[in-house]
Structure 1
Amino acid sequence: MTRQDFDTFCAPLPAATHVVQWGGSSVWKVGGKIFALCSGGRADGAGTGGRISFKCSDLSYRMLIEQPGIVPAPYLARAQWVQVVDPDALDEDGWEAYLTAAHGHIARRLTRKQRQDLCLNDL
């Protein structure tokens, strides 16, 4: 998955917002809380995709870090974040499922009022 593919996929997720921070990383948030980020790679989609990190469940975390090309995310592993260092470690369906799940994990942890304000009551 390229950085451009990553941004294109995350953009339509409910109430998702995008910022570029930390030296040019593409950071996706819901309710002001990060659910996925891409460090490195070029914003125009040329070249390599960079390294994508995302929040996952405890079970998914344990399974994913056993796969080649996926490691505990630096600084975030204690909160069950993984970093995909080989973009081919996940197929398209896997990318979509895990990024959607990451968005859901963070959205569900928002307060009831935040979810209501963002029209996320169905999560």
Structure 2
Amino acid sequence: MDLESLRAFCLSLPAVTEDVKWEHDLCFSIGGKMFCVASLEAPLSFSFKVNPEDFQELSVKPGLTPAPYLARYHWILASEGHPLSKAEVETRVRDSYEMIKSKLPKKALKEAGLL
């Protein structure tokens, strides 16, 4: 999956915003909370949140590592050569979106037009 495909998928989810943080990372958020972060520099790498059980399983696969600074919150960094198919990337990113969305206060959900 390339950056444009990942970007198009993230922006297809309801109430998603994007912005550049740390000068070279494209961040996708819902209600002001990040659910996916992609490097703007080649080669493509991106991070997403997973549940604790999947974190242990995924973090030992080639091309998948605990995300720097976010690993304690169960984020995975997918680097070049990761084993995830496009469909699995979309599933993982959608799951990350749903996990972050589920933790938002009702006020944030309402402001995002999700209630």
TM-score of the pair, normalised by structure 1: 0.85
Partner of 1:107: 101
How many correspondences in the alignment? Answer: 115
Distance 1:49 1:15 in 2: 28
Give the gaps of 5 or more residues in structure 2. none
Structure 1 outlier segments of 4+, above 6 Å: none
Partner of 2:14: 14
Q: Does 1:98 align with 2:87?
A: no
Look up the SS of the partner of 1:105 in the other structure: helix
Aligned partners of 1:3 and 1:49 also within 8 Å: no
Q: Which residue identity is paired with 1:16?
A: V
Partner of 1:83: 77
Aligned partners of 1:72 and 1:82 also within 8 Å: yes
Aligned partners of 2:62 and 2:81 also within 8 Å: no
Partner of 2:4: 4
Partner of 1:56: 50
TM-score of the pair, normalised by structure 2: 0.91
Aligned partners of 1:53 and 1:82 also within 8 Å: yes
